[in-house]
Amino acid sequence: MYIYYMNKHPGRGSTMKTYAKKLLLTSAIAVGLFSSTIQNSQAATANIDATVTTRPAVTVAQTTAMSFGAVDVDISNPGTSYTGSLVLNTDGTVTYPTGVVNAPTGSTPAAGVITIGSDGVSPLDVTCANTGQMKSGTNTLDLSVVKIKAVSGTSDLAADHTCTGALEASLITPSAASTVLNMGATIAGLGATTQLIVAGLQNYTTVGNTPIAFTVVYH
């Protein structure tokens, strides 16, 4: 922009021209300052990805129930004639107390078998009860010293592991989608209580009473 004042007053022309030049310079500076504050408006966009990892839910199932098999007892001489405990081992064999308790021919004891399904790699937390109770009518047999041992699907629990009844973190790290465990337990106190020393045929079971609770979750 250029502003020019005509000199109608002699002697003052140079002054007016100087004023016009100053005004022009000031306007140019102002325009320059104003222009420097103008910026291009531009939107920035980013693509945010999402991922999720899924894995099979843990499953646990009883494949075979624990069975102590058949046991012969002499009810004519109960009490201290029976010493020790009746033990179902994790290999399916039974250890009998001393006295007249024995297994009849054809008895087929069996360790309990548990099958765990998982992703085959993630550690598993296990809660395994250490007690239970079998019942026949009003007669009861208490289970204790519950033990588990791996059969396949993991390198853990290569030896008998006694259940604690509490959560045991990362007790099992599976090496396959299916992990198989055996379970055994003990019927103790045969010489001090009336456990097992009952007249007549008795069929004891945890069904409808207190089975061994076994819970598995991912760590």
Whether the CB-CB separation of 190 and 93 falls below 8 Å is answered with: no
How many other CB atoms are there within 10 angstroms of residue 188's CB atom? 19
- For position 17, what pLDDT does the model report? 52
Split at pLDDT 50, 70, 90, the class of 83 is confident
Predicted confidence band of residue 6 (pLDDT cuts 50, 70, 90)? very low
- Per-residue pLDDT band at 96 (split at 50, 70, 90): confident
Give the residue-averaged pLDDT of 187-204. 75
Mean pLDDT of 174-182: 98
Alpha helices in 38-185 (DSSP H): none
d(CA 53, CA 48): 17
**SS3 assignment, position 16:** helix
CA 72 to chain centre: 42
Cβ-contact 145, 200 below 8 angstroms: no
How far apart CA 87 and CA 95 sit, in angstroms, is: 5
Compute the average pLDDT of residues 59-73: 93
> What's the pLDDT at 188?
86
Structure tokens at 187: 């019927």
Nearest to 206 by CA among 132, 110, 131, 130: 132
Residue 26 has pLDDT above 60, yes or no: no
pLDDT in tens, 111-120: 999 999 999 9
| Whole-number average pLDDT of the chain | 83
pLDDT exceeds cutoff 70 at 209? yes
Tell me if the domain spanning 59-218 has CATH number 3.30.200: no
Q: Which residues contact 37 (CB under 8 A, 6 or more apart)?
A: none
Q: Please give the Cα distance from 60 to 106 (Å, whole number).
A: 31
Q: What pLDDT score was predicted for residue 2?
A: 44
Mean pLDDT of the 12-17 span: 51
What's the pTM? 0.76
Strand partners, 127: 167, 215
